[in-house]
Structure 1
Amino acid sequence: MKTIVRMNKWANAHTSIGLDVLRIGLGIFLFWKGILFAGQTKELTHLIAPDNPDATTLILAHYIAMSHFAGGILVAAGLLTRLSLAFQYPILIGAVIINFTGAMDALALTQAIIALVVATFFLIIGSGKHSVDYTLKMNV
């Protein structure tokens, strides 16, 4: 816990608009992917289980779409950033794995790797100084 508090203090002392733009960009990207996945549920279920899609696969596809949709909004606003990225993390790891084991799409693989790296960064340092989390913490 002391390590997280120390990283938060460092992040708040060294925050910049660039980090906030990066966080907001990640949130918008996740939100956009959530909208795309919601509109392409059949293709998403085929990616998850190409041989035998069942009810579990459909539930997982809906979880991915809604998690990206809601998580993207929360990350962009800087509200519950670490929690929402913790829900995104298994999805992003799965996206990287699917692109390596299945038919490799270079653009999708690049997007997944970049999103995973940026999500890991914000999972560690938090939402930063210009966020709803920081504003709520300072006003309580």
Structure 2
Amino acid sequence: MNMMNRIEHWGDTHHPAWLDAVRIGLGVLLFVKGVSFISDTTKLSELVSELDIRLWTVTAVHYVAFAHIFGGFLIALGCLTRLSALIQIPILITAVFFVNMRTGFSYLNSELWLSLIVLFLVVLFSVIGSGRFSMDEWMKNHDR
């Protein structure tokens, strides 16, 4: 058994049911954040252009919004949870270390705390998977 199979097996066997509610809440939060980015693309464009990385701003804005909307939806459903969570990690690392740290590490910086918590949860769900109350589990139990 290779390393990925062992991680998946450990995650599947050590997943309490209450984490499914946390997973659904995380998915809804990411979905809502993606919708807010779509509704105010100028703010997201300003955040991305301030990073001064050699990436087209429009491409980065669309990637972040697309990943949050569809990844959050899939995480909430519990469908392809590990993959959807892995797609979120680069966005959240950028948000924590390059965007939100500029305003300072204080208890008043709520966006930084939210980004840190979401980053922790996304890493957690990329390891432990979707759980018992998910589309992945339903599809596994209802094979044709």
TM-score, normalised relative to structure 2 = 0.86
Structure 2 counterpart of 1:30, which letter? Answer: L
CA distance in 2, matches of 1:51, 1:90: 14
Following TM superposition, by how much is the alpha carbon of 1:53 offset from its aligned partner in structure 2, in angstroms? 9.4
RMSD: 2.0
Identity of aligned pairs, percent? Answer: 38
Structure-2 residue corresponding to 1:27: 27
How many residue pairs get aligned? The number is 136
Structure-2 residue corresponding to 1:121: 124
Does the aligned pair in 1 maintain the 2:8–2:129 contact within 8 Å?
A: no
Structure-2 residue corresponding to 1:15: 16
CA distance in 2, matches of 1:48, 1:41: 10
Q: Which runs of 5+ in 2 are unaligned?
A: none
Following TM superposition, by how much is the alpha carbon of 1:15 offset from its aligned partner in structure 2, in angstroms? 2.4
| Aligned CA distance change for structure 1 residues 39 and 55 (closer, same or farther; 3 Å) | farther
CA distance in 1, matches of 2:129, 2:51: 39
Q: Which runs of 5+ in 1 are unaligned?
A: none
Following TM superposition, by how much is the alpha carbon of 1:54 offset from its aligned partner in structure 2, in angstroms? 8.9
CA distance in 1, matches of 2:88, 2:5: 24
Q: Is 1:130 matched up with 2:139?
A: no
TM-score, normalised relative to structure 1 = 0.88
Structure-1 residue corresponding to 2:66: 66
Does the aligned pair in 1 maintain the 2:67–2:88 contact within 8 Å?
A: yes
Structure 1 counterpart of 2:110, which letter? Answer: L
Structure-2 residue corresponding to 1:111: 114
Structure-2 residue corresponding to 1:3: 6
> How is 1:25-104 mapped onto 2 (pairs within 5 angstroms)?
25-50=25-50, 56-97=56-97, 98-100=99-101, 102-104=102-104
Which of structure 1's runs of 4+ aligned residues deviate more than 2 A? 50-55, 102-105
